[in-house]
Structure 1
Amino acid sequence: MNILVTGAEGFIGKNLVAELYNQGYKNIFQYTRKTSKELLDDYCQKADFVFHLAGVNRPINKSEFMSGNYGFTSELIILLKKHQNTCPILTTSSIQAELENPYGISKKAGENVLFHYEKDTGANVLIYRLPNVFGKWCKPNYNSVVATFCHNIAHDHPIQVKDPNRMLNLVYIDDVINELIDALNGRETAHGDFCKVPIEHEKTLGEIAELTYSFKQCRKDKSIPDMSDPFIKKLYSTYLSYIPKNQFSYDLKMNIDDRGSFTEFIRTIDTGQVSVNVSKPGITKGNHWHHTKNEKFLVVSGRGVIRFRKYGSEEIIEYFVSGDKMEVVDIPTGYTHNIENIGNTDMVTIMWANEMFDKDNPDTYHLEV
């Protein structure tokens, strides 16, 4: 299958081309501003499907709106007609096509020429009036408020929120790409005369700004955003794509003593926290129990033994653990427990607790195993 993608180096085009290759499509004709007219003519002759994503949204001169959005669409149709190629055409328009501004008027004109083409030739035309699209690879400080917020906050630059209550309708780039590929396979989501991305999010500017600032704070308090919220999950992934190249890593506080170290890695409100415990040879840590707090231990390096004794009992239960065999050991409530390094090297244990440590209510009581 020969697939023509115009605007292949743009935000949506770049993501689409990458996923088409991921899914095994090989013959992808990528049209950009650098592509010659002769090569575009060849593409229009051979194409079995056209993703028309090229357009102008931030020109120097307002007249470029019409030439870039209406004019190039007309040129594309002329070439397809020249070769009597009536393959399906999918184009990304904008919800601004409903507005009387230069950009909206030019997008509306581009839509109309495609509708006339469909009527004249019988070709299948799919028009998506997209709202605000956000995700990785979108150009900041250009025409996307989400990209601008993510980039500027990640780089410690200021942002402007003139109206925090302004509501935005947003679609995430992965959801857009999934819908476009569904359309390629005849499973488009129809919406009257147009098509739409079925998964949308409505958020205020204030909410987006607050969430983005919270992502930056996550590194300082070792927290993870609420990944159960679809929008937060998508926005956080977007934010991470704008982190400066020299700031991918960040330090953790290691609590070090002569026994080894203990370092908190991740803290979450609803799924507890993860820590890394390093014990030197012969060292025993623990000897405490919990009412409700529960944990999981995973030794990833070295050798050790985890001992348990039920409160009020004299029976000692032992679990021998090693980095050579990955196994998780649950720490049940009501059992005092400890972990001893019985090897000759440092023992490294990943420890998960079901709640963040609260110094005012630690639910941790000393008791020798």
Structure 2
Amino acid sequence: MLRLAVTGAGGFLGWHVRVLLRVLGWPEPVVVTRADLADPERVAAKVDGADRVLHLAGVNRGEPADVSAGNVQLAAQLAQGLKHCATPPGSVVFANSVQAGNGTPYGDAKAAAAGILADTGLPVDDVLLPNLYGEHGRPFYNSAVATFCRLLAEGGQPEVHGDRELSLVHVTDAAARLVGVPAGQSWDPAMPALRIGVRDLADRLAAVAATYRSGEIPALLDRHDVRLFNTYRSHCFPAHYPLPLPRRADARGELVETVKAHGGGGQTFCSTTRPGVTRGEHFHLAKMERFVVLHGSAEISLRRVGDNEVVRFPVSGDEPVLVDMPTMWVHNLVNTGPDELVTMFWTNEVFDPGRPDTWPEPVEPPGAGQAVGGP
């Protein structure tokens, strides 16, 4: 268990690093903001004695001159702060890019930043990261995956003007590599990559969106299938939920289609819950979980890890709907009615007690902000 300090903690990669640290049970990292970086003494005060400093802050998009100057400046500011430490950190881990030194303003700036950090004399782990994708990436900034997912979630279609091969790595795997932990329940620091053309990627995500539009589950045959699907779902939440379920009725009674999966494994189970009782209070890194209340009334509450706002969905067996839990969102289910609650759950994988991918955390921790209602 290490004491870490992190620059860029509020960004896409930084958030996933902080989620992984929470899963690992490590202390919250010391956050070094851009305002801190402008003052070497403030940097030194924050990183002094840290086991490791993760330099994740960077500039990915913008005018070429701004991208170049921004990445060099951030590294130089951190280096100045490191030189003021009474007890220098054990090492610096730099979130560099496979584009480093490729002759572009961005690539050359990342290479220059690595050199600046190396000149501090501290051990530097210079990690060359490929294209990262994952939940809650910023469209038109972090990756083509985020851009395509947002367009599709809003009912649009990706436009591909030039095709090239991408090497895509899920951001949790990159976080594991930067933090320096071995392979675990749903992360792999070896950063297994999906090699795919931009056009094929757009078609693949469009097919996922078309299948999921009615709540059907696309084929989830490998880890990238699951993670691309989870990434798409993060752009659907919460606006697309709850989703009505197809119902069939005749003289014998009623049938509700709760899960239609097009491929891959899965497990279905049902539970009863007494009035006032809460189930859940956990989150998942990769596992997909579906809730369908079949009898009684309940409230499903969710909160993104690290945030305070709570999204709530009142649901009832009188009008069954599905709510799929987004990954990295803490969630629970509370029986709000006077009768026993009957709920069907579905997950995309068979439960493995040795690798449950279930991380306890209350939806409403002490100090949580005002809750907001779901649609």
Structure 2 distance, partners of 1:3, 1:29, is 6
Q: Partner letter of residue 7 of structure 1?
A: G
Structure 2 distance, partners of 1:273, 1:54, is 38
Q: Is the counterpart of residue 254 in structure 1 residue 247 in structure 2? A: yes
Report 1:37-186 matches (<5 A). Answer: 37=39, 38-59=41-62, 61-83=63-85, 85-117=88-120, 121=121, 123-164=122-163, 166-181=164-179, 183=180
CA shift digits 1:169-205 (9 cap, x unpaired): 1100111122222x2x5x69xxxxxxx8431110111
CA contact (8 A) 2:22 2:28 kept: no
CA contact (8 A) 2:157 2:206 kept: no
In the alignment, structure 2 segments of 5+ residues that lack a partner are 184-188, 270-293, 296-338, 347-375
User: Aligned in 2, Cα 1:172/1:220: closer, same or farther, shift over 3 Å?
Assistant: closer
User: Aligned in 2, Cα 1:274/1:81: closer, same or farther, shift over 3 Å?
Assistant: closer
Q: Partner letter of residue 45 of structure 1?
A: D
Q: Which residue of 1 aligns with 2:232?
A: 239
Deviation at 1:206, TM superposition (A): 2.0
Deviation at 1:80, TM superposition (A): 1.4
Deviation at 1:23, TM superposition (A): 2.0
Structure 1 distance, partners of 2:15, 2:148, is 21
CA contact (8 A) 2:177 2:190 kept: yes
Greater relative CO (CA pairs within 8 A, separation 6+): 2
Q: Partner letter of residue 82 of structure 1?
A: H
User: Aligned in 2, Cα 1:271/1:237: closer, same or farther, shift over 3 Å?
Assistant: closer
- Matched residue SS, 1:66: helix
Q: Partner letter of residue 252 of structure 1?
A: L
Structure 1 distance, partners of 2:113, 2:29, is 23
CA contact (8 A) 1:44 1:83 kept: yes
Deviation at 1:88, TM superposition (A): 0.7
Deviation at 1:143, TM superposition (A): 4.0
Structure 1 distance, partners of 2:178, 2:226, is 21
CA contact (8 A) 1:2 1:48 kept: yes
Deviation at 1:93, TM superposition (A): 0.8
CA contact (8 A) 2:47 2:82 kept: yes
Structure 2 distance, partners of 1:112, 1:51, is 16
Q: Partner letter of residue 79 of structure 1?
A: G
Report 1:200-215 matches (<5 A). Answer: 200-215=193-208
Q: How many residues align?
A: 271
Structure 2 distance, partners of 1:27, 1:135, is 22
Question: TM-score scaled to structure 2, two decimals?
Answer: 0.64
CA shift digits 1:16-37 (9 cap, x unpaired): 1122133222252112234473
Deviation at 1:155, TM superposition (A): 0.7
Structure 1 distance, partners of 2:115, 2:102, is 15
Structure 2 distance, partners of 1:251, 1:74, is 54
In the alignment, structure 1 segments of 5+ residues that lack a partner are 189-195, 277-299, 302-344, 353-369
Q: Partner letter of residue 227 of structure 1?
A: L
- Matched residue SS, 1:246: coil
CA shift digits 1:324-365 (9 cap, x unpaired): xxxxxxxxxxxxxxxxxxxxx9xx998x9xxxxxxxxxxxxx
User: Aligned in 2, Cα 1:220/1:103: closer, same or farther, shift over 3 Å?
Assistant: closer
User: Aligned in 2, Cα 1:100/1:274: closer, same or farther, shift over 3 Å?
Assistant: closer
Deviation at 1:221, TM superposition (A): 5.6
CA contact (8 A) 2:101 2:110 kept: no
Q: Which residue of 2 aligns with 1:331?
A: none
Report 1:268-279 matches (<5 A). Answer: 268-270=261-263
CA shift digits 1:218-244 (9 cap, x unpaired): 235653222222211110010000015
Question: TM-score scaled to structure 1, two decimals?
Answer: 0.65
Larger radius of gyration between Structure 1 and Structure 2: 1
CA contact (8 A) 1:65 1:102 kept: yes
